[in-house]
Structure 1
């Protein structure tokens, strides 16, 4: 059965956590903190789900203003389904859902080589700032 894609499918935070666990992205998310995961899930603007039948096998979570920028904060594909073009198609589906906005993401160290291969451009002027709670 081919993979199908849905914009803002009916998901719960537990579905989001489950797909992160089944991908390598879960290693870099606070999966042990149910409240944080619930808030992360609730505050995304757009979700694209990748499905093999009824099974969620990939997700793109986006925060966007819909006209200028879209931050692709999570791109996760079940490890059993990787290397099939699902991540690339999830990004295309984000572009279709939010056609006017530029997509921005921070690559996981292991994925830095992936994004140029699918047509994304590296931008060396990104900066990050730790949460205020980390300040001493």
Structure 2
């Protein structure tokens, strides 16, 4: 199976929503709020994507300064393409775009904690979230 990886390739809102739904990440994202989803994809400044025969099958969507910190907002791989190394390749290509001192930071879904630890991430319990009232 040939997977093509692309850096900052345009991804439509519909493609993004469908991938999130198909990866189960859609359960934790506002996929029914099209304006929000459009803003999420269009305002990311680093997108690494995986494509199979023209279909978006994986994405690493980040916001970064490229030198100190890179917040990986979404790492999603279509369920039919999981366990093929696509997620690891998306992470590797994301890191390749960053400066040598830039940290990759993410908030993992509870079910994904073991995955991130397995691939070398260090757990840091100091994350704080301020929701809008």
Distance in 2 between the 1:60 and 1:22 partners? 15
| Contact in 1 for aligned 2:50/2:58 (Cα 8 Å) | yes
Alpha-carbon displacement from aligned partner over 1:32-89 (angstroms, at most 9, x marks no partner): 1111111111111111011123221100100001110000000000011111111111
1:126 corresponds to 2:124: no
How many residues get paired?
132
| Contact in 1 for aligned 2:11/2:41 (Cα 8 Å) | no
* 2:35 aligned residue: 35
Distance in 2 between the 1:65 and 1:26 partners? 26
Note the C-alpha offset of 1:99.
Answer: 3.3
* TM-score relative to the length of structure 2: 0.94
User: Mind listing any 5+ residue stretches in structure 2 that lack a counterpart?
Assistant: none
* TM-score relative to the length of structure 1: 0.92
Q: Which runs of 4+ in 1 moved over 2 A?
A: none
SS in 2 for 1:115: helix
SS in 1 for 2:122: coil
Distance in 2 between the 1:53 and 1:9 partners? 15
Computed over aligned residues only, the root mean square deviation of the Cα atoms, in angstroms, reads: 1.1
Note the C-alpha offset of 1:10.
Answer: 2.2
* 2:78 aligned residue: 78
1:50 corresponds to 2:50: yes
